[in-house]
Structure 1
Amino acid sequence: MNNGPKDLEVNIRSTDETDIPLIMRFIKELADFEKLSDTVVATEEDLKRSLFGERPYAEAVIAEIDGSPAGFMIFFHNFTAYVGKPGIYIEGIYVDPAYRGSGVGEALMKYCAGIAKERGCGTMNWCVLDWNPARKFYERLGAKPESDWVVYTLDEKGISELVESKNDRTT
């Protein structure tokens, strides 16, 4: 982790369609950092449709320092049944290595927390790989790891197989 200059003014801004190439670049850099580059199948057209289409499914924001992109966050609403309120799920947060330690990550998290509070959300959630040093950062912000829950994922193939399967599966 680099220790960039502290106390730089971080500007967080909403995105529009002109930001799609930058968002795609940050997604690829995040995947590279997480050693998951081979899983990136998203295209700029996918992002255009999902972030800015007729029914946007997620929101993205860009963090800038002196007008230069320093990081990004993608998030969407979920619902927390036990709380009875919407929540925000952070799908991706990434800070360019040149700006790590400069307050960019904290600014992104505070921005998202502000949105959650403004929208009456009861939770903010995200997943972090167990080896990621950012875990210490999140815990310093007051987040707690959920050790009792296991995350499950169905990929596109698994979704199709489930839809097309007969009702012969047992639990």
Structure 2
Amino acid sequence: MTVTVRPAAPADVGEILRMIRALAAYERQPDAVRATEDMLADRLFGPDPQVFALIAELAGRPVGLALWFLNFSTWTGRHGLYLEDLFVDPEARRAGIARALFRGLAEEARKRDCARIDWAVLDWNEDAKRFYRSIGGYHSTGWEPWRLDGPALAAMQEE
């Protein structure tokens, strides 16, 4: 069966949220998703979108998602793509969907003159790591992810 990858459209918002929720469940955080269809529609398709998505389809049915945004490297002087979420429905895995989504991301990077694609993977997700290595990805060392959110973010906003 042929995999089709295309930019997400407003009509995909329900499927995008479905896949985000399925990814959260897979990542052992089923109750963490706070996004709504309205929020996603606004961020992806509003007047100044800063987040983008590719949808992978098999037989016309959405089975995969790559949700991304632009970042910037002062060292290269160029943007990069940051892949926030990559998801493939369990029944569609091992059919080339993730590879097709990465080809779509690589094409976006080429069109936008991006220097690289970055992403994070959970330390326990060995299947994902094997896949990323198979496409030439590598574990970037030396940099640790950090985050400011929740009460600490609120406190910083009030300073």
The TM-score with structure 1 as length reference comes to 0.88
* Cα RMSD for the two superposed structures: 1.1
Provide the secondary structure at the position in 2 that maps to 1:144.
coil
- Aligned residue number for residue 143 of structure 2: 149
Shift of residue 159 of structure 1?
2.5
Give the distance between the partners of 1:44 and 1:156, measured in 2 at CA.
22
Matched, 1:86 2:68: no
Deviations 1:85-121 (A, max 9, x none): 0000001010001111000000000110111012110
Give the distance between the partners of 2:153 and 2:44, measured in 1 at CA.
21
Provide the secondary structure at the position in 1 that maps to 2:31.
helix
Shift of residue 81 of structure 1?
1.0
- Aligned residue number for residue 157 of structure 2: 163
2:32 alignment partner, one of 33, 39, 45: 39
Give the distance between the partners of 2:151 and 2:106, measured in 1 at CA.
34
Shift of residue 49 of structure 1?
1.1
- Aligned residue number for residue 127 of structure 1: 120
- Aligned residue number for residue 111 of structure 2: 118
Shift of residue 156 of structure 1?
4.7
Mapped contact 1:10–1:63 kept (Cα < 8 A): yes
Give the distance between the partners of 1:160 and 1:12, measured in 2 at CA.
39
Matched, 1:20 2:9: no
If asked which structure has higher relative contact order (CA below 8 Å, sep 6+), I would say: 1
Runs (4 or more) in structure 1 with deviation over 4 Å come to none
Provide the secondary structure at the position in 1 that maps to 2:41.
helix
Deviations 1:54-106 (A, max 9, x none): 11120111100111111111011110111110000001010001111000000
Give the distance between the partners of 1:37 and 1:127, measured in 2 at CA.
19
**Structure 2: tracts of 5 or more residues without a match:** none
Decide which structure has the larger Cα Rg and report it. 1
**Counterpart residue type for residue 77 of structure 1:** L
**Counterpart residue type for residue 158 of structure 1:** A
Q: How many residues align?
A: 158
